[in-house]
Every structure is written in structure tokens, then in C-alpha cells.
Amino acid sequence: MPEDLPPELSLCVMPDAVPAAPVRRPQPAAPRAPRPVRPLPSQLYQDGQGGAPAAPAQAVRQGAAPAASPAPSAAAPAAPVQEQRRPARPQPEEQAPEAAAPVRNWRPLPPHVWPAVWQERLSRTRQGRVVWTYWNLGPDLCEAQAPGKAQRSAFFRRLMQDLAYPAGTSTFWPACLPDPDAMPAPSSPAGGEDRPHYQPNADVFWSGVQALHARAVVVMGSVAARALGLPAGVRPLQQLRHRGTLVWVLWDVEFLLDEPQRYAAMLAFVRRALQQISRR
């Protein structure tokens, strides 16, 4: 052992006057008091205390083992978990079969296969570049005393004069004719003979348009438009092509008689429309 150290610093010899200081040994650290663990949710409900139950992750951070989720009690049933489902993609609306499919493959019928009443009417109809039709045209051609016939005849006389087109430009081809196999319609209360029952025939009508060598058809009124198979939703003052023929849709004659302010707009539309075929 080296002896160059003073006695008070020697590790082996201690002076008598100075008592040796006790060697301090490191004491083990006192165990840290665990943090109070919050009661389980079942204990809270049993004691009548409110509040939300502690999450399992929080109990793990506090040194306690995560407790199993308690079974829902009768006092406070757990809210059912709604299953989240992806909303179904909206399906396209189902549409009725369009009449355009057979129209694309449509061919005019030869007159010899038409009903006799239509063959007879064709023989009495002159050819024209523009065919005019409306629902009551059939009664106007077949009945001498058809209701409203005089007013409609006066309306068309005025219209043809205002258009001032050469004779032979326009012709009239009915949308319906009497059905010989149907029972006659009941007579009016004022008396008179029973009126015939009128039946449309779209195939024969459009075949007649071809037989008359017409370039365009003027359809007046929604009743005639439906009877002739025009697409749903057509409106007055609208132009379309149907079965290979140019078609112009107008208001019904009775409507124009009741609404004379529409006459000027209708006349201007027809004049512009007729320019399409007059230049050909």
C-alpha cells in the first residue's frame, strides 16, 4: 500500500481521534406507490355512479392489466352497433320499350292490304307535299253534321289563305276512320242518328303518307299525336322526324279556336317550316 497519502485519506489506517465514518451502502429505491386505478365500468354501475367507463388502453398505461369488457347489464344495455353498409348504387330507371325500334325497320304497307275503309279514303284523297291531320278530321270527312265541323272548316280556309301557297301544296289525310266492326257510339241527348266509332291505324296512316308522296306531315293536337305513335313528350311548335317523314306538331284546332292569341305564333312557325320543303 502506498504511504504517501495522509492518514485521513488512507483507506487502511484511521487516526484514533477521528472515528471511521460508516460506509454508506446504496439503499434500494423505495417502490413507487401505484397510481389509483379507476374502478371498472361494472363497479361504477353497481355503485350507481355515472360517467363513461375507462378505456382499456388507459388502464394499461396505469400499470393494470386491461380488464375484459363487462357484459351489458339490464340496467344500462349497450347501444347496438349499426352495421355500416355502402349505399347501393342507383339503378337506371326501367323504361318501357320504345316504339322507335320497330319504326326503324318499318316499311309502308301496300294499299291492297289496307282495310277497305282506308282504301276508299285514299282513292278520294289528292296528293300533296304537306299532309294535314287532326283527330276530328275523320268525322269531318265522314259526317255531314259532325259537331264543330263548320268552325273547323272556317279555320282551315283562313289558314290556307294566310299561307298563300299554290294549290296542291296541302292535302288532308285522317288519323282515324270509322271501324265497321265496332258498335256505333251513342247519340247525343239532342237526338239524331248514332255516330260511328272511329279507330286510328298508325301503320296505314304513315303508309298513306308515302302513297300521297308527301314530304312533311302537320299533326295537330296531342290526341292525334298519340294515335299516330309519335314519341311521348312532343310539344306544340316542335319538329321531328318519324318513320322517315318530317313532322311538325301544332296545337289542336279546338284549342286554337278557343285561344286566338296563339294563331300568330302558329302561323309564323308553319311558314318557317314550309320553307324547308319549298326550296327542295
Model-level pTM? 0.62
What domains does the chain contain, in order, with CATH numbers? 129-179+196-278 (3.40.470.10)
Could you tell me the three cell numbers for 75? 340496467
- Is the four-CA dihedral 9, 14, 19, 23 of positive or negative sign? positive
Tell me whether strands 238-242 and 245-250 are parallel, antiparallel or unpaired.
antiparallel
For residue range 50-103, what is the model confidence (pLDDT) as tens digits? 444 444 444 434 444 444 444 444 445 555 555 555 444 433 333 333 343 456
184: Cα separation from own chain's centroid: 42
> How many helices and strands, by DSSP H and E, does the chain display?
10, 7
What is the rounded CA–CA span in Å between residue 105 and residue 102? 5
| CA proximity to 270, closest of 130, 126, 128, 125 | 130
For residue range 247-278, what is the model confidence (pLDDT) as tens digits? 999 999 999 999 999 999 999 999 999 998 87
| CA proximity to 246, closest of 280, 205, 207, 215 | 215
- For the chain, the straight-line distance linking the first and the last C-alpha, in angstroms and rounded, comes to 136
Confidence of residue 180 (pLDDT cuts 50, 70, 90): confident
Q: Does residue 128 or residue 55 have the better pLDDT?
A: 128
